Structure 1
Amino acid sequence: MRVIIVGAGEVGSNIAASLADSHDVVVVDVDPETVEELTYSSDVLAIEGDGASLSVLRDAGIGEADMLIASTDNDETNLAVCGTAKTTGDVFTIARVRDANFLDTWQQSAGAFGVDFMVSTNLLTAQDIVRVVGLPAAVDVDPFVGGLVQMAEFEVTEESEIAGQTVEDADKFEALTFAALVRNGDVAIARGQTVIEAGDKAIVIGTPESVQAFSRTVAPVATPDEARDIVIIGGSDIGYHTAKLLEEREIGARLIERDPERGRELAESLPGTLVMEHDGTDVEFLTGEQVDRADAVIAAMGSDEKNLLVALLAKNIGVRRTVAVVEDGQYANLFETVGIDVAVNPREATAEEIVRFTQEGKIENLSLIEGRQAEVLEIEVDEGSVLTGRPIRESMAELPPAVVVGAITRGQSFVVPRGDTVIEPGDHVVLFVAADVLSTVMSAV
């Protein structure tokens, strides 16, 4: 498939890197330095120019393209790119937007803006935040098979019950599979005798109930099973959508917004949320409102620097868990290094969603792990799959060792994957796969 990506920022470059191995990828960007860097660092054709220009799109081969992805940082530009592309033929268009109002319009009118599929960055980010705060100690959570299966990544601390245990000892939940450990930024398959150390991240796959139970062995003893007292600092669009999603879960959060006019707008549109007009960096106000006793504080202000400051203040006054929005993916590790529990990167969430959509067909769903070092994939197997019709231990012998069968579903039932389990055609299988063997695995399954 020939794919044109307009915008080579963090989102576009991540998408390009994920698709380059299996597709013919062309990237268009207005920045000559970015284009030069892509030319030498990725297996893509990089073109300098304005992707909203018909002549530039023609230079990129829009006439032969199967798909165009508009991923610049400007909503209107992305819509213009898709509209321009549609004038050339029937190329499938994907637009990334921040403003969910564009998404609402597009959902109510098929094909609006010349867009075939639209991704709302702010809404995706809010969904990620809500999933994470709902699971103690989790730093990443993704649902698979319509919610029957959950993948979660947990930060192991010195207070965690499983710190110092072997993977075999820690893996005591029936409907749960230990997929991998992340240590010093490197991902490795979890082997039975590997000792789990404080500072590791544990990646598990299982039923939501088993993942929730496992989280109690990772989180400190005093941590509640589910955060109920949640404070959002910053009435940004991400803050608004986070509060709205929490309301849908019947969790009434508190939202602190400094701007009076914005505060009134939020109060009118969020009836189940207590909106407070104040400076979220005022420590005296925060302690006076007992924010220090909150289960979680979410920093969703207008800049990475403000979010870092607010999250650190919250941590300093005793908040159990802090979640911060970080736009620049390079800062995500920094946020967590200085003590922020979870850093959520909107651009990473957007790239993951677009890659997931472009892989539809054999791959039903996916999650990118640690900068694309690995992927968690949901596939529906057929009779031609190497996984089908024999015990898992036999089929896995024909696949690279950097693969784990994390879960199986049959209809609406969860099947625990064990060595003697036989996978049947039509089953949905959730796999953990290292990036360097992904193409080999996909050709076999």
Structure 2
Amino acid sequence: MNIIIVGDGKVGYTLAEHLSREEHNVTIVDTSEEALRKADESLDVMCIKGNGASITALREAGADTADLLIAATSMDEINMVCCLTAKRLGTRFTIARVRNVEYTVDASALKHDMGIDTLINPENATAVEIARLLRFPSAANIETFYRGRVELMSFRAREEDFFLGQPLSALSQQVRNLPILFCAAERNGEVIIPDGSFVPQAEDRIYVIGAPLGVHEFFKLIGRYAPHIRNVFVVGGGRITYYLSAILERMNMHVKIVELSEARCRQLSEILPHSLIICGDGTDQELLESENLEDADAFVALTGRDEDNLIISLYAMQRKVAKVVAKCNRQNYTGIVRDLGLDSVISPKLFTANQILHIVRGMQNSKGSVMSTLYRIADGGAEAAEFVVNETTRHLGTPLKDLRLKKGILVAVIVHQGRTIIPEGSSTIELGDTVIIISSNQGILDINDIFDNSILDLGAGNQ
């Protein structure tokens, strides 16, 4: 596909990196020579210096024949004008990053008037994810599928966990009877798609998928079911904090926000009347102690600096706060702090990239099985994708044990007639099913991509 990305900041660069790796023709438009130089040297993309809202720059970038334009500058207004101009020039599909609360309130009218096909608000998406983690604090990360009827959660294995040191095939009947599956693991930076012979070890990051009740029962079984959170301590008063606090207030949680800017504090106190706003430096240890950090059930670091977020989050862990979440867009920091025990690290730019990759793959695969959901898990080393099976899907009705799948592919869940099934060798995929696939970064576009075409087609009669 021919894709134009306007804006080469964190989000734009991350998107260009992912999309060029998937062999799309990517053109970046930006006014910064330094940002374009970095992209030109590191990525297989075309770079154009110019204002992405101008007709001249967009024509030079090929907007008249582009399949997709992604407007991801730091200015909402520029992003909207980019989409409007690109649409009039002939671009087939446009996506705008729009962060201002006032603009996103009436999103449908805005999309219609400005020629925007999809609006993405990274801060709101990040807030929703953090709220989900606070609702179920035992998990390091939570993803949902099939309208919330399937959940994927990750956690860090501990020395005392009873399932360590034995293959998954030898798990107790109590665990095997639960509607869950160990679907991925991270060990020493390597992503593993486990089979029955996989032996979990302490410090592995384990990903479990299944029906919510089954996942929750498993967490109770391993002693990870934490009490409900009531008091949340937030450092940083930006847009994510606004969205998050509004959600938490609706969940009857008490929110305390520490923000350095006096003007922003006044603004937050007006729009969040039920939250306690404190003006001060959230990285100051004395302030955190004076505001009784250790009495909080959860701590969330949302300042504009990744380094500050990680350091104060590690301090909150030292003070024995039960649930700690940190915002961090730099992936090279994430692995370091996870080794220190900080597992819930949230990246707004990765949320944006995931949403757009999902849209791109859906555009590529307009005739095959429908991809409903896409998540990049294990720090991008694996993907979890949800597909709806239609008449184009091959090998319908063939038992999974008789199929040859590509290496690094796992059929994790089949939802058949509303029933959540953890597949066995005798399970089959049928027309109308929803299937969740875990892959080790295969770039799956269609459910048919999971089959190993180098092997004799065993199910030709079921096409």
Distance 1:275 1:37 in 2: 40
Range moving further from structure 2, 237-246 or 323-332: 323-332
Distance 1:254 1:437 in 2: 41
Is the CA contact (8 Å cut-off) linking 2:398 and 2:428 kept in structure 1?
Answer: yes
Equivalent position amino acid for 1:305 in 2:
E
Partner of 1:426: 432
Q: How far does the alpha carbon of each residue in 1:353-375 deviate from its partner, in whole angstroms, 9 at most, with x for none?
A: 12122223521110012343221
Gaps of 5+ in 2: 452-463
- Deviation at residue 111 of structure 1 after TM alignment: 2.3
Partner of 1:256: 258
Among 169, 182, 206, the residue aligned to 1:202? 206
Partner of 1:385: 393
Among 372, 381, 384, the residue aligned to 1:376? 384
Partner of 2:229: 227
Range moving further from structure 2, 233-242 or 168-177: 168-177
Is the CA contact (8 Å cut-off) linking 1:157 and 1:218 kept in structure 2?
Answer: no
Partner of 2:373: 365
Partner of 1:86: 87
Among 324, 327, 333, the residue aligned to 1:325? 327
Partner of 1:416: 422
Partner of 2:182: 178
Is the CA contact (8 Å cut-off) linking 1:154 and 1:218 kept in structure 2?
Answer: no
- Deviation at residue 193 of structure 1 after TM alignment: 2.7
- Pick closer, same or farther for the CA change 1:416–1:44 going to 2, 3 Å: same
- Deviation at residue 88 of structure 1 after TM alignment: 1.2
Partner of 1:12: 12
- Pick closer, same or farther for the CA change 1:74–1:338 going to 2, 3 Å: farther
Is the CA contact (8 Å cut-off) linking 1:400 and 1:437 kept in structure 2?
Answer: no
Residues 107-118 of structure 1: pairs in structure 2 closer than 5 A? 107-118=108-119
Distance 2:52 2:213 in 1: 46
Among 384, 388, 402, the residue aligned to 2:408? 402
- Deviation at residue 81 of structure 1 after TM alignment: 2.0
Is the CA contact (8 Å cut-off) linking 1:322 and 1:342 kept in structure 2?
Answer: yes
TM-score by length of 1: 0.88
Distance 2:136 2:163 in 1: 17
Q: How far does the alpha carbon of each residue in 1:58-77 deviate from its partner, in whole angstroms, 9 at most, with x for none?
A: 12211111211112344333
Among 276, 279, 282, the residue aligned to 1:280? 282
Range moving further from structure 2, 227-236 or 253-262: 253-262
Equivalent position amino acid for 1:192 in 2:
G
- Deviation at residue 48 of structure 1 after TM alignment: 4.0
Partner of 2:136: 135
Q: How far does the alpha carbon of each residue in 1:162-213 deviate from its partner, in whole angstroms, 9 at most, with x for none?
A: 4444333275352111111111121111122322122211112111222222
Distance 1:6 1:249 in 2: 37
Distance 1:231 1:313 in 2: 13
Partner of 2:461: none
Distance 1:105 1:437 in 2: 34
- Deviation at residue 289 of structure 1 after TM alignment: 4.5
Partner of 1:193: 197
Distance 1:274 1:337 in 2: 33
3-state DSSP of counterpart to 1:297: strand
| Residue 99 (structure 2) pairs with residue 104 (structure 1) | no
Partner of 2:458: none
- Pairwise CA RMSD: 2.8
Range moving further from structure 2, 86-95 or 177-186: 86-95
- Deviation at residue 126 of structure 1 after TM alignment: 0.7
Partner of 2:127: 126
3-state DSSP of counterpart to 1:347: helix
- Deviation at residue 238 of structure 1 after TM alignment: 0.9
Q: How far does the alpha carbon of each residue in 1:298-347 deviate from its partner, in whole angstroms, 9 at most, with x for none?
A: 01123223323322332222212211111333333333344433221111
| Residue 216 (structure 2) pairs with residue 212 (structure 1) | yes
Partner of 2:460: none
- Pick closer, same or farther for the CA change 1:219–1:267 going to 2, 3 Å: farther
Equivalent position amino acid for 2:208 in 1:
V
- Pick closer, same or farther for the CA change 1:303–1:17 going to 2, 3 Å: closer
Q: How far does the alpha carbon of each residue in 1:203-250 deviate from its partner, in whole angstroms, 9 at most, with x for none?
A: 121112222223345665xx6244333222222211121111122333
Distance 1:51 1:208 in 2: 44
Q: How far does the alpha carbon of each residue in 1:37-86 deviate from its partner, in whole angstroms, 9 at most, with x for none?
A: 54565454444443223222212211111211112344333223223313
3-state DSSP of counterpart to 1:62: coil
- Pick closer, same or farther for the CA change 1:33–1:280 going to 2, 3 Å: closer
- Deviation at residue 161 of structure 1 after TM alignment: 4.5
Partner of 1:66: 67
Distance 2:372 2:54 in 1: 34
Partner of 1:347: 349
Distance 1:173 1:136 in 2: 24
Q: Percent identity?
A: 32
Is the CA contact (8 Å cut-off) linking 2:65 and 2:91 kept in structure 1?
Answer: no
Would you say how many aligned residue pairs link Structure 1 and Structure 2? 441
